[in-house]
Structure formats: structure tokens, C-alpha cells
Structure 1
Amino acid sequence: MRGIKRILLAATAGVLSLGIACAATQAQDKSFVLKFNHVLGPKEPYHAGFTKWAKAVAERTKGGLKVEVFHSAQLGVEEDIIEQIRQGANIGQNTDSARLGNYIPGIAIMNGPYFAETLDEVAKLRKSPTVTKWLDELATKYGLKVVSFNWVQGYRHFFTNKPIKTPADLKGMRIRTPPAPIWQESIRALGAEPVAMAFGDMYPGLQQKAIDGVELVYNNIPGARFYEVLKYANETGHIMLINFEVISAKFFNSLPADYQKILVEECDKAGEETSKAILASEKVVMEQLKGKGMTIVSDVDLKAFRKAGEKAYEVLKITDAFNTVSKEIGK
């Protein structure tokens, strides 16, 4: 009788072990899909970069994790997508610290006037204790997992229909900027009146004179054909545009550990390559715009703009965060 019990117990243990092993195998074999949204056009360098990231992830996971890239805000506007991400949807969004500053105010400094100004400084931000703390808080408290912020879209300049050389030249001008406090206060501090407007509404907004100009990176201009409605590219370089690739923390945590690692590694790699290519191409794009009839204003009073930009940090009460992180990266 005891022998039979031992056999039954052994058999039960074997079945349980097999079940656990099968469950683990099924979890690993389960396929996952991440729908990744961005507002830029299909000809922008970022779209090619995101596509490259998706291909690398699919190859390394043997199709177990697929990243589907949607350009031109095909899945919806950025703010709506971020809220869906917070709810756990398998959606990702290319965004920035300006919008993330709606949840953690201090992180907005990373998209403030004249903060990070080189790729080396952006790389150092990844080792900043304060930045690391912010990213952990975004994931645990707000459900926003930052996969990478290794994507730099270039330097933002003012594009207008009159030359801009000093902050005073922007007085009374309505400049489009995204609807986030650091963007709004940065443009106001630099001398203009900020107007919140979706990326896709800018061209008709300029045609209808609802706005007098925009502040964007060079690579945004050809794809959206802004050279048709704007005459001057004023090289203020007031913000080095660091972008964040954000997905649901809940979705990220549902992935097998090796898939998580691959998703992050390939995103960082694609971001670094894309950022370098963009910065290298800015002069080429600038020449293209000159060929389209735009005038490049390079003799800008950067000292005056830098001084004016400080007010944005003061108004938002994030000057201490600015000073702390600047010190951590040796700026």
C-alpha cells in the first residue's frame, strides 16, 4: 500500500513538474505585439529609425515580439495615446520630457531652453541618479515605462516669416508649440506668445495666419513642406530635442525577461544611430531649404536667448532640478 502511495505521489509530482515546464514554455512561445505611434511623416529620419528598431526586435525574438510602427499619428494624438498607455494598452508613443513633466515636473528640464546641448550630455543623463529616480517613478506610479530616451531629433529653431535675431524680435508673435508647461513657458520666456496646436494642424494654421511661426527641428521642415508657408529659419537652437520612447509598464512587465532586454537594447541602439545621422544631416537639410527659397538667419544673439530662457525654469519652479541634474552630468 505504501509502495502504491509512493508511486502515486511520484506520478503527481511528475505531472506538476511537466505542467510547470509546459506553462513556462507556453509563456515564452506566446507572441506579443506592440503598436508604436509617432506624429512624424513617413519620410522623417525617425520613422526609418523606428522601423529599424522593429526589424531588429522581430529578428532577435524570432517573431515573438513584433513592433508595428504607425506614422503621422495614425493611432491618435499624442496626449490621448499616453493615457491609453497608462491604462495598460499594448501601445507605444514617441514623446518628450515636456509632456512627461505633466506627471513629474522636474523631468521637464530635459526639454528646457539650453539644457542638454550635445549627444555626450544626453548619454550622461542616463547615469544621472535623479533622472533614474524619475524614470522609476514614471513606471511604478504612473504606468509609463521609458524604454529609451536615446533619441535626439536635433536642435529646435524658430521658423517664421520675418528674421529673428533677439528675443525682442519675437514680441507679439504667435508661435506654435506643444501643449505642455515647459514648452509654453520656454516660448514665452524667449519672447513670443505660445499657441498650443497639434503637429498636423500647423501647415493650415500658418496658411490661415492663426499662428505666425513654429519652433521645430530642421528635419521637420521638408517632410511637412513648411518651406511653402515660411521664409526664415532662425538658428536659435533653443532646445536640443530629446525624445522618449514610452510604452505601458504593465505591458512591459508582461514580456519575458529576454524580450524586455532586447526591446530596450535595440531601441537604444537605433536611437543612437538615428540621432547621429540626424545631426549629421542638418546642414544638408539647411541647404535644401535654401534651395526652396528659405533664408537662414545664423547671426542670432545666443547670449540674450540663453539669459531669457532661464525664466522658464523659474516660472515652473524647477530651477533646483535644473541645477541638480546639471551638476550630476558635469555641465
Structure 2
Amino acid sequence: MKNFRRMGLMALAAVFVFTAAFSSFAAPKKYVLKFNHVLAESEPFHQGFLNWAKRVNQRTKGGLEIQVFHSAQLGVEEDIIEQLKMGANVGQNTDSARLGMYVPEIAVMNAPYFVDSIEAVMKLNNLPSIKKWEKELADKHGIKILSFNWVQGLRHMVTNKPIRTPGDLKGLRIRTPGAPIWQESIRSLGAAPVAMPFGEVYVGMQQGAVDGADLVYRNVTGAKLYEAAKYMSETKHILLINFEVVGKRFFDSLPASYQKILVQECSKAGLETSRVMEKEVVEIKKDLAKRGMTIVEDVDVAAFKKAGEAAYKALNLTKVRDQVYKEMGKKN
């Protein structure tokens, strides 16, 4: 009887061990990244993020799921960045201006007339200075950059008067994000910068809280700003480079293979989306013209570029820019 009972207990223990082992094998840990951005659902970036999410899900066989939230559904950008720094499983589409709040030098990538093409952005990926800033963001601040291959395009002035020279901006209140490089860039070009969330620009212009904004073409159609502004003046003052970031703590918690896939697919989707946005500008300009907007192309870009030097000087970024240019083999 005792032997029978002993055999029964051993058999039961074996079942428990087998079940635990099988469960561990059959149901590997699943990871979820909640990714937030402020743009409208209709914008190419949103579809680009969905493409990224789909490919990551496929390659990890469902092990890593990216849930994409448009229109700041998870909260404002600054709050999301603080959350991911603490280890939350959230990510954010941001820019070097905001990252410059942690590593001041990286803000140079958001300065006036820094670079002007997707090809130039691709070169930045491998530069020693950029790699150094990325490491500092991760090691000191817990912010992991996945990719900055996401280029929204050149920013121009969206106003109710034509802008051809820096003097035309005098006395105008131009909406821009609150980070120092954004503020100084707009100030250097001749306007008074006003910090305001992107989602408030339409109402802000209609109510007169601001006289305009600096935006890429797709922002104007996405937010229907052609209803609030009459002119799009091609100042081309900033090539808007976006950064996709997650928390270093969350990133480090992923299996090495998942980390590689997450970065690879982010960079791939970013470059694809950037090319799409670059090509669609011609059609967007035609559409805005049909909707009553005047596209001002005869802008004195040389005068604006000269004025923009003040932003580099104000934030001590002139030497930083020159060093990056040296690494790129680019002349100022």
C-alpha cells in the first residue's frame, strides 16, 4: 500500500514537472510596446508606425506587439518620455529639440538649415558625435533611440501674410514647440516664438492667439490648417528629423533577437515613410492651392539662413555643428 502511494506521488510530481516545462515551452513571454505620437491618424507617419508594428509582430511570431496610438492618445510628449525613462513599456515619436533637454548637443539636429535632405540624414547615422549623444541619452537618462530615419520634410511658415524675408516675420507670433532650439530658431528668423501643442494650432490661429506656425506640408493638410491660414511660405528653415524612442530599461528587458528586429524594422519603415512624404509634396501643394492657399516660393532663403546663425550662437551650438559637418565631410 505504501509503495503504491509512493508511486502515485512520484507520478503526480512527474506530471507537475512535465506540465510546467511544457507550459514554459508553449507559452513564451509576450512583450507589448505602447507607442504614442501626436499626429493625426491620416498622416503617413501613422501608417508607417503601423507597418513597423506589423513587421515586428511577424518576425517575432507575436512575441513583441507594438500598439500604435495617434493624436497623443496616451498623453503629451513630455509626459510619455518621462514615463519611458522610468521603465514603462511606452514609446514616443519625438525630435532632437526635446532630446536636447537631456543632451544639449543633439539639439543641433533641429537647428536652422542644419541639413536639407534624407541622404544627409542617412549619413548622420554613423557619425561618432551622434553615436556619443545616443549613448549618453541611454546611459545617463534612460532614453533609447531606435531610429531617426523618420524625416517629415522641410518646415515652412504658415501664416496669413506672405513671408519672403526675415523682416516679414517681425511682430508675428509663430507657434513652435517649447524646447530651447525651437524657440531660438524662430526668434533668430525674426518672429516671436509661442510654445503651443500641435493640436491647438488650428484654434490658436482662428482665435488670434498666434499669427502662424512653422510646419511641414503634410501637417497643414492633416490638421486642415488651410482653413485658418492663407499662405505657405517656403522658408525651408528646418528639415524635421523625428526620433523614435523607448526606455532603455524596457529595451534591455527584451530578448537580444527582439532588440535587433525592433531597431531594424523601425529604421526600414522610417526610410520608406520619409520617401513617401518627400514624393507627395508636389501633389499636396496642388491640393492646397485648390483649397485657396497661396504657396510663396520666391523666398530669400539665403537671408533666412544667415539670420538662423543667431540660434547656433545663442545655444552655443556653432562648434557642435562644425564638428558634425567635419565628420560628414560637409562644408558650412
TM-score (norm 1): 0.92
1:277-329 CA-partner distances (Å, limit 9, x unpaired): 10111111111100100000000001100000011010001111111011111
Structure 2 residue runs without a partner (length 5+): 1-16
- 1:1-80 to 2 correspondences below 5 Å: 29-80=28-79
Contact 1:156 1:238 survives alignment (8 Å): yes
- 3-state secondary structure, aligned to 1:311: helix
Q: Which residue of 2 aligns with 1:83?
A: 82
Separation of aligned partners in 1, 2:307 and 2:232: 20
Aligned partner letter, 2:299: V
After TM superposition, what 4+ stretches of structure 1 lie above 4 angstroms from structure 2?
A: 25-28
1:213-243 CA-partner distances (Å, limit 9, x unpaired): 0000000111111000100000011000000
Aligned partner letter, 1:55: K
Separation of aligned partners in 2, 1:104 and 1:311: 20
Contact 1:28 1:256 survives alignment (8 Å): no
Contact 1:109 1:321 survives alignment (8 Å): yes
- 3-state secondary structure, aligned to 1:313: helix
- 3-state secondary structure, aligned to 1:120: helix
Shift of the alpha carbon at 1:253?
Answer: 0.2
Contact 1:92 1:246 survives alignment (8 Å): yes
Separation of aligned partners in 2, 1:196 and 1:28: 48
Q: Which residue of 2 aligns with 1:214?
A: 213
1:32-86 CA-partner distances (Å, limit 9, x unpaired): 0000000000000000000000000000000000000000000001011111111
Shift of the alpha carbon at 1:27?
Answer: 12
Separation of aligned partners in 2, 1:116 and 1:257: 33
Separation of aligned partners in 2, 1:76 and 1:87: 16
Separation of aligned partners in 2, 1:77 and 1:285: 28
Contact 1:185 1:315 survives alignment (8 Å): yes
Separation of aligned partners in 2, 1:148 and 1:305: 29
Q: Which residue of 1 aligns with 2:14?
A: none
- 3-state secondary structure, aligned to 2:83: helix
- 3-state secondary structure, aligned to 2:284: helix
Separation of aligned partners in 2, 1:219 and 1:27: 45
The count of corresponding residues between Structure 1 and Structure 2 is 313
- 3-state secondary structure, aligned to 2:295: strand
- 3-state secondary structure, aligned to 1:48: helix
Q: Which residue of 1 aligns with 2:176?
A: 177
1:264–1:28 distance in 2 versus 1, CA, 3 Å? farther
Separation of aligned partners in 1, 2:200 and 2:191: 19
Shift of the alpha carbon at 1:26?
Answer: 6.2
Separation of aligned partners in 2, 1:264 and 1:156: 27
- Percent of pairs with identical residues: 61
TM-score (norm 2): 0.92
Shift of the alpha carbon at 1:28?
Answer: 9.0
Aligned partner letter, 2:226: Y
1:137–1:227 distance in 2 versus 1, CA, 3 Å? same
1:27–1:271 distance in 2 versus 1, CA, 3 Å? farther
Q: Which residue of 2 aligns with 1:229?
A: 228
Separation of aligned partners in 2, 1:326 and 1:44: 32
- 1:302-321 to 2 correspondences below 5 Å: 302-321=301-320
Q: Which residue of 2 aligns with 1:276?
A: 275
Q: Which residue of 2 aligns with 1:300?
A: 299
Q: Which residue of 1 aligns with 2:7?
A: none
Contact 1:57 1:266 survives alignment (8 Å): yes
1:76-97 CA-partner distances (Å, limit 9, x unpaired): 0101111111111100000000
1:218–1:31 distance in 2 versus 1, CA, 3 Å? same
1:124-168 CA-partner distances (Å, limit 9, x unpaired): 101110000000110010000000001000100000000000000
Q: Which residue of 2 aligns with 1:8?
A: none
Separation of aligned partners in 2, 1:92 and 1:284: 32
Structure 1 residue runs without a partner (length 5+): 1-17
- 3-state secondary structure, aligned to 2:181: helix
Contact 1:124 1:329 survives alignment (8 Å): yes
Q: Cα RMSD (Å) of the superposition?
A: 1.8
Q: Which residue of 2 aligns with 1:138?
A: 137
Separation of aligned partners in 2, 1:288 and 1:88: 43
